[in-house]
Structure 1
């Protein structure tokens, strides 16, 4: 079992992450946080804990440095910079491929809000490495033209009361180049704060990753 704070080099900066890998692990899930969030997001940490009970490792990483986060809080200049976030996700995927504990493990991407758009762009750039992409209340539409290049299975999870995001997910789903499923959590709003809503997200994501791993092994 690995459980430690790690640093991922990206050019002349380093990103801070929390790496947890059970033994044995079947895959590692890399989390892409949404606008204004971080690796400390209680919602993503709750989902990550559920995934680890299913034998999946997790890497929750800050895609912005502390200085960038402070500036973004005021200006909002980085949270919609999908190209920047995707480049840093790609660097994190590549880092997992050389880390001894994870180099043989398939990677799943879990994106929330704007992080979903960045995750899909990164998946399009690393098709041989990324097994699947899961989006929670995400903005897959922000991936733009990269959607057509995403060939691996994609799961889009949205709240039943999150009308605008449902519409954006439906539109993005039509552009995806590979198999995809849209799951609606009844009665849930954008942050899945309703009782039991986030648990449904975690269970659905865990089951989806298990199915993708079984299909890849079969």
Structure 2
């Protein structure tokens, strides 16, 4: 009888120890879920085509210059800046296009065309920006300077249901800014610049699954109650 009693006591002790270990594991899992819900997701930064010498107000290789001259279709069109920073324009030939502010570049091109035509010359830069993360169609988009960060998100099809609209990352010239896509957000309506990257993170796992924490807490409470009854 003594041997049987000792075996049963040892079995109950082992069971209690196993339940305590299980409780500890559940608690650790809850802590992990909570930390995951508040940890910000890191943006995937794609290296820009711009070199360190390019300023944020200048164009970059891959951008486009749209030239419109009335009744001059041969001189009009869209012309891409090559990898060396040069754009080749009709009549003007190769033009350096990346090492000065956009306004100065436009003025220089218009002045050069004035030697050949008398009609007004319209020069519009078309920029390339990347929109990544929790948007419906991530990718590279061509935009005009008057377009805003919110416009770029719209071009990518808008955000997904799991997106965190309050912490959109704007990556510009190696710096990262958090932008909120809310009606009163000033940065959301700021103009785009060449080489901008927008990264829309997803909301934390718990915020996307609000019932999970409540269920886990309920299960833990039930387990604690069961252990205490032993």
Same fold (TM over 0.5): no
Using CA pairs below 8 Å that are at least 6 residues apart, which structure has the higher relative contact order? 2
TM-score (norm 2): 0.23
| TM-score, normalisation: structure 1 | 0.24
